[in-house]
Chain A
Amino acid sequence: MKYYTYYPGCSAEATASPLGISIAPVAKKLDMELAELEDWNCCGSTPYWSVDKLEAAAMASRNLALAEKRGFDLVTPCSNCFVILHETNNYLKKLPEFKEKVDKALAAGKMKYNGGVKVRHLAEVLYTDITPEGIAAKVTKPLKGLKVGAYYGCQLVRPDGFDDPESPHSLDEIITALGAEAVDWEMKARCCGSSLVMPEQEVALGLVNKLLKNATEHGAECLITPCPLCQINLDAYQSVVNSQFHTKYNIPVLFVTQLIGVALGIPAKELALSGNIVSPMKVLAPYL
């Protein structure tokens, strides 16, 4: 059994609930204990990061202080939470004056952070600690014949990720470990438009269109992604892209844990497969 402290992030409880739901049974099968961080708060995300860096770092550090008491690596499934918590750690290490201010802010809430927490992305933990071989050993329903495109998005691999920032391969290896075929496509680590989909929808949807076009042209029958925001843009906005660009995409976008779960023989309900807007049931039917 491997032990971690788990930081879901706000989306995994709401707009990315299929991610939050599917993690638990998958972790159990893979002998990972993911104990949820008690009373965690929002990481602050890019918006807070871009409004006030000190307040944002203080907000993120409250989580780090809580996690430090427990003593295990802090694992999050959200790419944005990962970058924010990880970069906060970096700032506190590199900038003593900044750290002093964050310390004072934390003290006002009767908290203290000594810099001892390692922040990790769930996808990195699956790849490094559990390993593709370790996952393959637990596969009971090999996804033979399924063509899957790994969509890494940005913040899993940049600015300071564990995989190649231009041409990552870790998720492709996990797909292969599940018995499926990893589709090679050029845009697997290009941007989906992220939260720009709210204030500047047209710009973001243009980027989503490019991704879906590239993935389908290379024969992907479904996509997997670790990132809540990427999944929403590609899945929930797919019909808007279709009406705006006169396209006919109908490609399911699963969270990494959902696809792993199918290959591990976990029932569809426990993986919240009904939570995906573009239904994955048809492409997954042979394996359920």
Chain B
Amino acid sequence: MAETMVEAPAADVSFINEVCAIPGGESINSCIQCGVCTGSCPTANQWDYPPRRVIAMVRAGLRDELLSSNSMWFCVSCYSCTVRCPRDIKPADIMHALEIIAIRSGKSTKQSNTPIMYRCFVDSARSNGRVYELGMMIKLFLKTNPLAALKLAPVGLGLFLHKRLPLKPSRIKGMSGLKAILNKARELGGAK
């Protein structure tokens, strides 16, 4: 009886190429799946898929599962993984690359408020040239959880009373130049 040969499905390389195309993402091919990144991560217990598995999923082409997970949004950019990786991969940079791809493809998860916070921060930086912390925080809480804002009111009040929460944004003089720079960057392949 002839043996039936089952061909392994070809791995989808388009996802890994997408990650490699973002500065910092290109090191992913050297991963040996040792797990030092996961063992070093201070928030790994919160991730749907911990760092080592995230890298394995990129290589397996599991794009939708990964991009709609909360995983990379829990990366605190502490770079413990990055300095410990025996293959000189930069897992934190890979997480940033995945965040960029998730936002670009509209897949960002509802299980984490971090993408909304990032968006509020970027909007604030873009509109004044400097981040207006109070305005950004108010916007974030209105968009996510107004009740959490109430819980945090004492922290905000404490900062305000200690003269650490200005009520007015600071705006740079060269705003039109900065806008031109950012618009050009977007036109050249920036993500919307």
Contacts and interface: CB of A to CB of B under 8 A. Distances in A.
Interface string B151-165: 010110011001111
B121 A194 contact: no
B135 to A, nearest CB: 11
A52 B155 contact: no
A194 B76 contact: yes
Contacts of A39: 172-174
Counting chain A residues whose Cβ lies within 8 A of the other chain, the interface size class is 35 or more
A14 B164 contact: yes
B78 interface: yes
Interface string A16-51: 111000000000000000000001111011111111
B96 A15 contact: no
Q: Helix, strand, loop or mixed for chain B's interface? A: helix
Interface centre among A15, A50, A55, A108 (most CB of B within 10 A): A50
Interface stretch (A121-129, A132-140, A143-151, A196-204): A196-204
Interface string B71-97: 000101111101100000010100111
Contact of B154 (A14, A54, A111, A239): A239
Contacts of B189: 54, 101
Contact of B164 (A16, A42, A101): A16
Interface stretch (A154-162, A171-179, A213-221, A260-268): A154-162
Nearest to A158: B79
A196 B172 contact: no
Given A51-B99, A58-B181, A199-B140, A98 B172 contact: no
A195 B131 CA distance: 14
B68 interface: no
A130 interface: no
A276 interface: yes
B36 interface: no
Interface in A158-212: 158-159, 165-166, 190-191, 193-196, 198-201, 203, 207
A159 B95 CA distance: 14
B133 interface: yes
B63 to A, nearest CB: 18
Interface in B147-192: 148, 152, 154-155, 158-159, 162-166, 170, 172-174, 177-178, 180-186, 188-191
Contacts of A67: none
B119 A51 contact: yes
Contacts of B164: 14-18, 236, 275
B165 A190 contact: no
A96 to B, nearest CB: 12
A199 B182 contact: no
A91 interface: yes
Counting chain B residues whose Cβ lies within 8 A of the other chain, the interface size class is 35 or more
Contacts of B74: 196, 200, 203
B53 interface: no
Nearest to B82: A159
A284 interface: no
Contact of A200 (B24, B113, B190): B113
Contacts of A59: 125, 178, 181-182
Contacts of B170: 10, 13-14
7 contacts: A10-B170, A53-B22, A53-B100, A58-B182, A105-B182, A108-B181, A201-B152
Given A101-B188, A104-B184, 10 more contacts: A42-B125, A48-B121, A50-B118, A54-B188, A55-B190, A59-B182, A165-B83, A191-B76, A199-B114, A272-B163
Interface of B: 22-24, 42-43, 46, 74, 76-80, 82-83, 90, 92, 95-97, 99-100, 103, 112-114, 116-119, 121-122, 125, 129-131, 133-134, 137, 140, 144, 148, 152, 154-155, 158-159, 162-166, 170, 172-174, 177-178, 180-186, 188-191
Interface of A: 10-11, 13-18, 39-42, 44-55, 57-59, 62, 83, 91, 95, 98, 101-102, 104-111, 154-155, 158-159, 165-166, 190-191, 193-196, 198-201, 203, 207, 232, 236-237, 239-240, 272, 274-277
